Structure 1
Amino acid sequence: MTTRAPNTQPGRYDWHNQAACRDHPNLFFPDSGGYHNARPLCAPCPVRDRCLTQAMTAENGLPTPFRHGMWGGLTPEERHQRDRVRTRQAETPQQENAAPKIRTGGKPLAPCGTRYAYERHVRRGEHIDIDCLDAYDDYRASRRINAAA
């Protein structure tokens, strides 16, 4: 039987009770560094964003050896990389109205509400908004009409 320490800071960690991992803590802090069993639990977790936010806030600026466990679906190395990118973006002066850039190729991201944005969301495993879904449905409908003609 597993027991838990009482919540001494009400409100701050209330999301822990909703986490998909609440009954499997050993998966997220493996001795050998293998997180392959933890990822499937993180993917559909309803509090994944809050979990990742807490880890990123707590670990801000720490090197990888001082980061531990799987948080928000990311390993210590992945969180360190994300932290480095975020720090670089904060240090780089941003132009107003500049289109966001992707890591590879430097091409601007397709705006939401387009078929290309829908495909990007699918590739990255992101939430697909209704505008992108509608754009993709329109694209598929136009392909069916062209194929029938």
Structure 2
Amino acid sequence: MGYTGSVPDTAARRLDWMGAAACLGQQEIFDDPDRVHEARIICVARCPVRSQCLAYTKECERGLHRDQRDGVAAGLTHDERHRLDDTAVHRKDDGDPIKLDGSERCGTHIALLRHLWLDEPIDPKCWSGEVFREHGNRNARQRAAPAPRPAPPETARPKRRPRPPAKGDTPHERRIYSLWSTGASDLDIARRMAVSVPSVLRVRERLGLIANQADRQAS
């Protein structure tokens, strides 16, 4: 009896390669214009399907304007792909198209673009040039970045202004200070507060109050 079950579909599909792309799950890197070099590294050094990605991108973007392209794909920015595509629509404010004629000097940016666009091996000299350019661009961005604002001073709870020592810290001391400020003698203060004269004297000395005229005359 022959097998009557379903036959597994093992035929390769046109876009199966996308599952092996190194950029999966890292879209934020490929959409960030400040991380182009980081995206290039992923494409050039880590992606096993860059050739398929390049062919697919060229096919999908053929004839499109720069504004209809985005991000980094196959190691090339949307602007680079637009300028390298000789079928692309161009406007007056676009950058000049890049024409590759085989005279690109190794180690230059245009030579790197040639390798990437034509899916050629990238030699160490061209990649070293890319690394040096990225360092220069990074330094330029850091110099152009506005200086960070100084951190605001820590907001602290306003400190209570200390009460002048002469006025006392307790109701008893403040009462003595209040009477002393009227010119009352130690004896008068003691009588009005029903305390002893020595206790008034101790408080007055602790508060740094000089004796009033009556006390000085008595001494």
TM-score computed with the length of structure 1 as normaliser: 0.49
Where relative contact order (Cα < 8 A, 6+ residues apart) is larger, the structure is 1
Larger radius of gyration: 2
TM-score computed with the length of structure 2 as normaliser: 0.35
